[in-house]
Amino acid sequence: MTAAPDVASSAATLVCRVEDLTPDLGVAALVGGEQVAIFLLGDGSVHCVQNLDPFSGAYVLSRGITGSRGEVPTIASPLYKQVFSLVDGTCLVTMDKSPKPGHAPDLVVHTVRLDNGAVWIDLAGDR
């Protein structure tokens, strides 16, 4: 995630600077028309997942609460409180609910590249 920047050779988009982010809070960004949620954590790492909450169908994950389950950094949906891993997008707590039809419970994780304080998101590197 904080590997050597390889910006030139990728289809990455510059979205903001690390200073634009507040520790433990998220922001939403538009990358090629797609909504993503970006989080700066207390340890300085930056994570990016889809902004769409699969359990409500609303684009709200950037406004959730960050935290941890065991060692895994997480984001909790502000609507129905499902908890997702920020590392691999796995839905860790479903609150006994199913995602909206047509949505998988797990989140798509986007690749983040940091380059001299610039935050780049690369949709091509999705996991």
Partner 1 sequence: MTTERIVVVGGGMVAHRFTEALRARDAEGRFSVEVLAEEPRAPYDRVALTSYFKGASPEDLHLGDPALWHDPLVTLHRDTRATGIDRDRQVVEVEGGREFGYDHLVLATGSYAWTPPTAGSELPGVFVYRTLDDVAALRHYVQERREKLGRTVRGAVIGGGLLGLEAAGALQELGATSTVIQFADRLMNLQVDEGGGEALKRLIENLGVTVRCSTATQEIKAGKDGHVGSLLFADGAEQLCDVVVFATGVRPRDELGKESGLEMGARGGVVVDDTCLTADPAVSAIGEVACIQGACIGLIAPGNTMAEIAVDRLLGGASTFPGADTAAKLKLLGVDVASFGDAFATTPGALEMVYADPVNGVYKKLVLTDDASTLLGGILVGDASAYASLRPMVGAHLPGDPAGWLLPEGAIERPNVDLPDEAGVCSCNNVSAGSIRGAVNDHDCHDLGAVKACTKAGTSCGSCLPLVKKIMATELEKSGIEVSNALCEHFSISRAQLFNAIKVSELTTFTEIIDRFGTGRGCDICKPTVGSILASLYNEHVLAGDRAALQDTNDRMMANMQKDGTYSVVPRIPGGEITPEGLITIGEVARDFGLYTKITGGQRIDMFGARLEELPKIWKRLVDEGFESGHAYGKSLRTVKSCVGSTWCRYGVQDSVGMAIALELRYRGLRSPHKLKLGVSGCARECAEARGKDVGVIATDNGWNVYVGGNGGFTPVHAQLLVEDVSDEEVFRVIDRYLMYYIRTADRLQRTAPWQQDHEGGLDRIREIVVDDSLGLGEELDAHMSRHIDTYEDEWKAVLSDPVRLRQFASFVNAPDQPDPSLAYVEQRGQRRPATPAERENGPVLIAPTTLEVRS
| Contacting residues toward partner 1, per CB under 8 A | 15-16, 20-25, 27-30, 33, 35, 38, 41-42, 52, 56-60, 63-70, 73-74, 76, 78-79, 81, 83, 98, 100-101
| The two three-digit tokens of residue 110, written as one number | 């986007």
CB of 58 to partner 1, least distance (A): 4
Q: How far is the CB of 35 from partner 1 (least distance, A)?
A: 7
SS3 2: coil
CB closer to partner 1 out of 14 and 124: 14
Phi/psi region, residue 81 (left: phi>0; alpha: psi -120 to 50; beta: rest), is left
Question: Rounded distance, CA 4 to CA 69, Å?
Answer: 28
Quick one: 4 or 102, whose CB is closer to partner 1?
102
Give min distance, CB of 6 to partner 1, in A. 21
Q: Which is nearer to partner 1, 4 or 70 (CB)?
A: 70
At closest approach, how far in Å is the CB of 49 from partner 1?
A: 15
Q: Which amino acid belongs to residue 120?
A: W
Give 83 or 112: the residue with its C-beta nearer to partner 1. Answer: 83
Contact (CB, 8 A) for 50 and 60: no
Torsional class of 20: left (φ above 0), alpha (ψ -120 to 50), beta (otherwise): alpha
